[in-house]
Chain A
């Protein structure tokens, strides 16, 4: 079974019944058991459930039924995705042990496709962070170097793929929380166009920015997973009605004549030299494959971080008000309800979450709305406008994903702003709503993975994946990309 490394291969083999879903799940569970004590990618491994589902799939296939494009493929889910009857904690004490009475839409779609969840992965609490160190249950470690962070907030999901437990996982991205851990862990990570994937069942952080997306070892597998989860959902009012483009069919279209722009505003001083070098190398690789490479400017993007740290906390402060000890989750008892609210929330939330709730409350408060939240939303319009202008000249844009390779645990926890700067290249696309993905490309001077970011206009996933596929094929020696035939 060692030649089965991609999800596509696994699904094909299970469907062809040359390997059973049960066997695949056992391999996955064994890998987790062996290594996760050290890495801690999972908050919860749902071994019994997974085995049960695998048995069902095997039985259905034996009966001649069709199962779906992800038949028997083990998959990991970020622990902010609602899974009915299975604890969904958002790595927070305030939801410790909470079992949702319903499944997220993406979870339903995965099940319909035959995928089997092996567990819920660790994250920064309520998806707020860039290192998974804000988890209330302890950090996840980078599989390439366990003294380093895997990135965040979807650190667990990135690590689960990077460590080889599963070929696919789901994360969520609000300011870079899929792409940045993908870069740090040397895997492919995609933030789809806003509205392409239903948010129903994703525990909300910042509603106008959040998107669920895939982690995978290959561009092709990422495309497959995205096709399964994407598409209109009537339960999400912000869900795009158009049908999903056929990504898989166009992966090998190449980039001849494609116009690629390196975004000036992301090639700032804070970008490490090795990262900068690999970004340029990636641009050269695209040029060698026939793309036309130039420099693009998205001037307002320089203000993205500031606008983001007003908009995202503002929406979060409202989204997290529901954690009050009344209907679900943690309750700290008190003599009266106001005190119960205060004590529950104070005990239940970690510092970063509190910080952002207060920041967001301030940005919305009377007398400050116009200067902060109101202004930030206008800056957001400008960022979108500047991106759209760049897309008049370029088909895709290119930049580093993260300013550095994976940093050490504890390195950036002293000052929040230092941590926030990790997302300087990823945040602007969340504000604009455009799709973006990180593809492994080379390694840093420390031997750790580097990822480059490809960005595209709204619903430009096909073009984005084409460029990603070329980069994957041209990645330098030592890159972590799993170069297998599709």
Chain B
């Protein structure tokens, strides 16, 4: 198992997950996450050689649907739930770059 999680790690994953963690929260979260991960680290005791990761509890495969049109959602109903719209589109502040 890897080393204990650090505050820097927590800051990093918070950024990836788009969460702002205040400095006074960071220490607490780091310690809590560290405890949980340490608990989980007991798994290292198991012999996992040759064990396949579990996909789904049942062995279903090849679940597909026919290429048939279904009715669209009512745009008005969808837009009514949106925080900000313009000309039938969802409006967001400037994006700044290609991927975030």
Contacts and interface: CB of A to CB of B under 8 A. Distances in A.
Interface of A: 98-99, 101-102, 193-195, 208, 234, 237-238, 240-241, 300, 303, 305-307, 309-310, 317, 321, 324-331, 333-343, 345-346, 349, 354-355, 357-359, 361-362, 365, 367-368, 371-372, 374-382, 384, 415-417, 420, 431-434, 458
Nearest to A307: B43
Contact of A195 (B45, B48, B60, B84): B60
A326 B54 CA distance: 34
Given A195-B60, A306-B43, A416-B35, 20 more contacts: A99-B80, A195-B56, A238-B58, A240-B58, A324-B18, A326-B83, A330-B83, A333-B93, A335-B93, A338-B18, A340-B93, A342-B19, A354-B19, A359-B36, A361-B13, A371-B1, A375-B44, A378-B54, A382-B48, A432-B57
Contacts of B1: 371
A361 B74 CA distance: 34
Interface in B74-100: 74, 77-78, 80-84, 90, 92-96, 100
A336 B32 CA distance: 32
Contacts of A362: 5, 9-10, 13, 33, 37
A338 B39 contact: no
Interface of B: 1-2, 5, 9-10, 12-14, 16-21, 29, 32-33, 35-37, 39-46, 48, 51-54, 56-58, 60, 63, 65, 73-74, 77-78, 80-84, 90, 92-96, 100
Contact of B46 (A98, A334, A379): A379
B78 A101 contact: yes
B53 A377 contact: yes
A331 B100 CA distance: 18
Contact of B54 (A310, A343, A384): A384
A127 to B, nearest CB: 18
A309 B36 contact: yes
A240 B60 contact: yes
B51 A381 contact: yes
A324 B82 CA distance: 11
27 contacts: A99-B80, A99-B81, A208-B57, A303-B43, A310-B40, A317-B17, A327-B82, A327-B90, A329-B83, A336-B96, A338-B18, A346-B19, A358-B19, A359-B33, A359-B37, A362-B10, A362-B33, A365-B13, A368-B2, A371-B2, A372-B2, A372-B37, A375-B48, A378-B48, A378-B52, A380-B54, A415-B35
A309 B35 CA distance: 11
Contacts of A333: 93
Given A377-B53, A416-B32, A300 B19 contact: no
B73 A336 contact: no
- The interface residues of chain A, by DSSP majority, are classed as helix
Contacts of B37: 359, 362, 372
B19 A357 contact: yes
Contacts of A378: 48, 51-54
A417 B53 CA distance: 25
Contact of B40 (A98, A324, A372): A372
Contacts of B32: 355, 415-417
A309 B39 contact: yes
Contacts of B39: 305-306, 309, 417
Contacts of A237: 60, 63
A354 B21 CA distance: 9
A321 B100 CA distance: 12
A355 B29 contact: yes
Nearest to B81: A328
Contact of B16 (A307, A361, A415): A361
Contacts of B60: 195, 237-238, 240-241
A358 B13 contact: yes
Nearest to A374: B53
A355 B81 CA distance: 28
A365 B84 CA distance: 32
B41 A306 contact: yes
A217 to B, nearest CB: 29
Given A208-B56, A335-B94, A338-B100, A357 B17 contact: yes
B35 A417 contact: yes
